[in-house]
């Protein structure tokens, strides 16, 4: 199925926006401007961009501790995200969540989540809600390889399968759960094979090929929207940075790290778009430049925004 030119360019722009955001977070975190923990999505952009390009604004996503990419791809604004990372009042969560909890329910972002696999049952609940309310909204549930070894993966996917919930599980297999390689943590080569246990389709796709992700997730979403139930999509990718910023990554070999960087999805897509005649070198450079400027503005917005009042600590526990 041919994808419109504008949509292709949008996907590229989203990927560059995510990378530029993450590179900037890397820099500002190192400079001590961002408190707490950050987990960078760089290297995995094709998954969020490709998958979310299929969504409507009223569809839902659940995200993870490595969530910046998902949020940007679902329409999160980089200035308000950056402000949240800085702990400012203008952040999406008014400084109460930080990197690992960014959410904007009004645009379908049900939240990043710092607990591995926690989004799986929550996504199921959102999908159940859509089903019970009689809408055709779908939920895209992102999580990593590590989540698939937990209780909640089994409980959540099993329940979604028996109720045919409108949900697509996107597994970002980035080779490591923190320091533990997938090859150690499970006895199967493809996580998508776990779908067999639930009687649902499972697909493995090159997670660094944005068009492949877009197509496979798109088919799964169409199936979900028609009421045919959930799908497991495994996207094989790798991490550009460590588990979190500060990770010495001693568990990674130099060779694996270098191969990962060679698989970078952004130059790969850029080349493809230029070859397809969708972008010129100049157009692509312009997008990169625009994103750099957008992030300059986002950082400026974050820096200049006020911190919350200390007493706001006591607000928002209950309605």
Partner 1 sequence: MKEITYQKAINEAIDEEMKRDPSIFIIGEDIGKHWGGSLGELAGLFDKYGAERVRETPISETAILGGAIGAAATGMRPIAYLYFDDFLGVCGDELINQLQMKYMYGGKTKLPLTITAYIGAGLSAAHQHSKCLFGWLMNISGLKIVAPATAYDAKGLLKSAIREDNPVIFLEHKVLLLSRSTSQIPNEEYTIPLGKADIKRGGSEVTVVAIALMVHRALAAADKLQEKGISIEVIDPRTLVPLDKQAIIDSVKKTGRLVIMDEEPKTGSAAGEIAAIVAEEAFDFLDAPIKRVCAPDTPIPFSPVLEKFWMPDEEDLIKAINEIM
Interacting residues toward partner 1 by CB under 8 A? 60, 62, 91-97, 101, 103-106, 110-111, 113-115, 118, 120-130, 132-133, 151-152, 155-156, 158-159, 162, 315-319
Long-range contacts of range 245-254, CB-CB < 8 Å, 24 or more positions apart? 245/25, 245/26, 245/29, 245/30, 245/37, 245/38, 245/39, 245/40, 251/176, 251/179, 251/181, 252/176
Catalytic residue among 24, 225, 239, 252: 239
Report the alpha-carbon angle 7-237-106, nearest 5: 50
Which residues touch 125 (CB under 8 Å, ≥6 apart)? Answer: none
How many angstroms separate the CA atoms of 189 and 192, rounded?
Answer: 9
Closest to partner 1 by CB, 123 vs 284, is 123
315: left (phi over 0), alpha (psi -120 to 50) or beta: beta
Is there a catalytic annotation at residue 261?
A: no
How many angstroms separate the CA atoms of 21 and 294, rounded?
Answer: 9
- In whole angstroms, how close is the CB of 266 to partner 1 at the nearest point? 30
- In whole angstroms, how close is the CB of 51 to partner 1 at the nearest point? 19
Side-chain-facing half-sphere of 60: CA atoms under 13 Å: 29
How many angstroms separate the CA atoms of 167 and 290, rounded?
Answer: 34
- In whole angstroms, how close is the CB of 117 to partner 1 at the nearest point? 9
Torsion of CA 114, 231, 145, 16, to 10 degrees: -70
- In whole angstroms, how close is the CB of 60 to partner 1 at the nearest point? 7
Catalytic residue among 101, 154, 251, 268: 251
Cα–Cα nearest to 77, from 312, 288, 240, 297: 297
How many angstroms separate the CA atoms of 167 and 159, rounded?
Answer: 11
Is there a catalytic annotation at residue 243?
A: yes
DSSP run (H or E) holding 140 = strand 139-144
Catalytic residue among 70, 243, 252, 263: 243
Is there a catalytic annotation at residue 251?
A: yes
3-state helix, strand, coil in the chain (%, to 5): 50, 10, 40
Closest to partner 1 by CB, 118 vs 192, is 118
CA 128 to chain centre: 22
Closest to partner 1 by CB, 127 vs 278, is 127
Closest to partner 1 by CB, 60 vs 240, is 60
- In whole angstroms, how close is the CB of 58 to partner 1 at the nearest point? 10
- In whole angstroms, how close is the CB of 119 to partner 1 at the nearest point? 8
Closest to partner 1 by CB, 162 vs 196, is 162
Closest to partner 1 by CB, 123 vs 287, is 123
Residues recognised as catalytic: 239, 243, 251
């Amino acid at each position: 199925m041919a994808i419109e030119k504008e949509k292709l360019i949008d996907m590229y722009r989203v990927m560059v926006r995510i990378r530029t955001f993450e590179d900037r977070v890397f820099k500002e975190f190192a400079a001590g401007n961002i408190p707490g923990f950050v987990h960078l999505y760089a290297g995995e952009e094709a998954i969020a961009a490709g998958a979310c390009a299929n969504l409507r604004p009223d569809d839902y996503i659940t995200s993870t501790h490595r969530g910046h990419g998902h949020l940007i791809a679902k329409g999160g604004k980089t200035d308000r995200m950056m402000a949240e990372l800085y702990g400012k009042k203008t952040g999406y969560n008014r400084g109460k969540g930080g990197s690992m909890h960014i959410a904007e329910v009004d645009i379908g972002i049900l939240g990043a989540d710092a607990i591995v696999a926690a989004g799986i049952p929550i996504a199921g609940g959102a999908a159940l809600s859509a089903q019970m309310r009689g809408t055709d909204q779908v939920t895209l549930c992102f999580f990593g390889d590590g989540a698939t070894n937990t209780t909640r993966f089994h409980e959540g996917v099993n329940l979604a399968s028996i109720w045919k919930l409108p949900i697509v599980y996107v597994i970002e297999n980035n080779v490591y759960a923190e320091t533990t390689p997938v090859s150690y943590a499970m006895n199967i080569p493809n996580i998508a094979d776990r779908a067999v246990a639930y009687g649902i389709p499972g697909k493995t796709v090159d997670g660094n090929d944005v068009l492949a992700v877009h197509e496979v997730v798109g088919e799964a979403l169409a199936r979900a929207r028609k009421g045919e139930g959930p799908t497991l999509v495994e996207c094989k990718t790798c991490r550009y940075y460590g588990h979190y910023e500060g990770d010495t990554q001693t568990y990674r070999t130099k060779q694996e790290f270098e191969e990962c960087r060679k698989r970078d999805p952004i130059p790969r897509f850029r080349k493809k778009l230029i070859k397809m005649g969708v972008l010129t070198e100049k157009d692509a450079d312009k997008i990169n430049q625009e994103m750099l400027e957008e992030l300059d503005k986002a950082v400026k917005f974050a820096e200049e925004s006020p911190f919350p009042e200390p007493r706001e600590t006591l607000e928002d526990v209950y309605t």
